[in-house]
Chains A and B, each alone.
Chain A
Amino acid sequence: MPESDSNEFYVGYHPTAPLGVARRTRSFVIAALLCTVGLALVLAKGFGPLPRATFEFGSLRTFEGTISTTPYPALHVPRPGVIDGAPWTSRYHIVAPFKFGADAAVAEFDGKHVRLKGTLVHRDGRTMIELVPESLEEIPGLALSPEGPQSLGEHSLIGEIVDSKCFLGVMNPGNLKPHRACAVRCISGGIPPVLCVRDTDGRAEYFLLVGENGEPMNKAVLDYVALPLEITGEVERLGDQLILRASAESFRIL
């Protein structure tokens, strides 16, 4: 029978607690605070490392180059100090603020030489610009004629579809299941989907995903985002960008 065996009795609205009760409570509070400290440290340590992926939030830069709108909006700028055989332009993805692609914003500027302002997002040498849409203007100067795609043959690649914007640095971490819903939202809003493939050392390579005819494939990949996948298709090099041309029918969930 739970009768309290000591004669002490705690009443909350009395100014002080009886001695034994106060002692017990004090030891509990001290133990609980120690556990709090321990758990805060253990949990802080428990989360995995985060990659170097950067969103230069709050710092705007000005860029000049040539716009291409297919398969996804990009800005081409000449690479300094080009060696023979290497791509001679850099291709920066262009996206709109928030979870939207920049297709509408750049539509009228295809092939034109422009100046624009934006915020850089970069990871592992891949660069993206979050455009300030109003800043886009055509300027005099010679437009670059973008390099044509160069086929690297058919390949089966194993990886994870991520939205390029978050993955390159707007969010960190920007992949795997906890980020799935966000990646779906971004890709659905027009952010280019990429297949992220890791080699055995964990280094990642990114393949911009396009349909069989080179068309953007935002809606078609939504059901596959973040899942472990094998995709078979033709790999192409476009400037310094790798592209994977495949039909969603070739996607195999592992």
Chain B
Amino acid sequence: MSHAYRAVGWNRQKKVYDRILTLGVILFLGLFMGVGALLRPNATAETLMIRGFGAAAFLLLHVILSIGPLCRLDPRFLPLLYNRRHMGVTMFILAALHGLLSLIQFHGFGDVHPLVSLFTASDSYGSLAWFPFQPLGFGALVILFLMAATSHDFWLANLGAPVWKALHMSVYFAYALLIGHVSLGVLQAETSPWLALPVALGLAWVLGLHLVAAGTEARLDRDVEGVEFEGLVDVCAVHDIKDKRARIVCLDGERVAIFRYDGKISAVSNACQHQNGPLGEGRVIDGCITCPWHGYQYEPHNGSSPPPFTEKVPTFDVRIRQGRVLVNPDANAPGTEVSPALIDFADKGAPDA
């Protein structure tokens, strides 16, 4: 299957990525626990570890949630996205260490099973201030586990894209649970603004970034108001599209990427088959549309990945008339061959005679 070939292994960029990630985690844990132990000589190792792993995981989750919108706003952040999976798995491992240690420390070795205790020991579910915060953390950990366990492309192929994507969108639910976990937990006891403030700023940062990025997205989703001509919609001028690049337009609610390359124009669906990456922000390399996220490739004239790969995206009929690009808003089935529209000399600049 195609995904087997896609595994590019531990290439150089991934190695650099992982090294920096590891450095960051060690730096945080070392400083947090080291300074924590110095400031509070009575702290036990378990307390320092539980707090350190929890805080590190929560911080890393903020970084992970920022990458998507940052890349929407500026494609130069794309290297952060390329290996985001490893960041996710690292975050899960930290969260799991925190959860496991907490479960042992606070619920283990007692008169009921730790997992029963987790949900019943503190049971003021009707009160906000006393709402049990640990089950919220557990819920988040389950989601993070499912995401980490299915993060490999093998699962994307086997679960099917819609299920996989829904699962991975639930990271936002996990984040909401964790905001509850922290603000109904540790922030009810620790009164220092140096804890509450970073949590509030972190939430504001994540929300703000998503709102700004969503604004950009919403603009993309406005249908083009081009003139219709024989069922085709006039979307832009030929010279609006840079060579080897695309312009993204919205037709009948679907985003279409219109590429210009080698004196031709072709249009495909904007959504990459891998993880919905925006193909229209990609580039034509070696004759293939290359996705900006992880580099999946498609041939412009048929929306199909070159052999041996098997991914296919829908294509759209295109024509050029008087220097304007016309696109049929009805998508062809994924992988349908469409003859590219040829740009002649006159199309490049002024309308033809």
Binding site for B on A (CB under 8 A): 1-4, 8-17, 20-22, 24-25, 28-29, 32-33, 36-37, 39-55, 97-100, 171-173, 176-182, 184-186, 188-190, 226-227
Contact = CB atoms under 8 A, between A and B. Distances in A.
A189 B107 contact: no
A10 B83 CA distance: 13
26 contacts: A1-B247, A1-B248, A2-B278, A4-B245, A4-B281, A12-B294, A13-B13, A15-B13, A16-B12, A29-B20, A33-B23, A40-B28, A41-B31, A47-B51, A47-B195, A48-B192, A49-B39, A50-B42, A53-B42, A55-B44, A98-B109, A100-B110, A180-B121, A181-B132, A182-B105, A185-B121
Given A12-B82, A33-B27, A40-B29, 6 more contacts: A21-B76, A21-B79, A39-B28, A171-B46, A172-B43, A181-B132
Contacts of A20: 76
Interface residues of B, number: 81
Contact of B216 (A2, A4, A188): A2
Contacts of A36: 24, 27-28, 59
B214 interface: no
Nearest to B291: A11
Nearest to B9: A13
Most buried by B among A2, A25, A33, A98: A2
Nearest to B195: A46
Most buried by A among B46, B75, B118: B75
Interface in B183-228: 184-186, 188-192, 194-195, 198, 216, 220
A189 B30 CA distance: 36
Interface in B93-149: 105-112, 117-118, 121-122, 130, 132-134
A227 B188 CA distance: 12
A32 B28 CA distance: 11
A78 B221 CA distance: 83
Nearest to B246: A3
B189 A178 contact: yes
B249 to A, nearest CB: 8
Contacts of B79: 10, 12, 17, 21-22, 25
- State the majority secondary structure of interface residues on B: helix
Contacts of B130: 177, 180, 227
B310 interface: no
B319 interface: no
B44 A172 contact: yes
Given A4-B75, A177-B130, A181-B107, A45 B194 contact: yes
Given A10-B75, A32-B63, A41-B35, A25 B185 contact: no
Given A10-B79, A24-B74, A177-B185, A43 B55 contact: yes
A28 B121 contact: no
Given A37-B31, A44-B39, A28 B77 contact: yes
A178 to B, nearest CB: 5
A105 B290 CA distance: 72
A181 B130 CA distance: 11
B88 to A, nearest CB: 16
Given A37-B31, A185-B106, A24 B290 contact: no
Contacts of A39: 28, 59, 198
A207 to B, nearest CB: 22
B81 to A, nearest CB: 9
B335 interface: no
A12 B40 contact: no
B40 A42 contact: no
A24 B20 CA distance: 15
Nearest to B23: A33
A13 B295 contact: yes
Most buried by A among B43, B78, B191, B282: B78
B323 interface: no
Contacts of A97: 109
A45 B35 CA distance: 8
Contacts of A177: 130, 133, 184-185, 188-189
B152 interface: no
B19 to A, nearest CB: 11
A9 B247 contact: no
Contacts of A188: 110-112, 121
A25 B75 CA distance: 11
B32 A40 contact: yes
B285 interface: yes
B189 A99 contact: no
Contacts of B109: 97-99
Contacts of B276: none
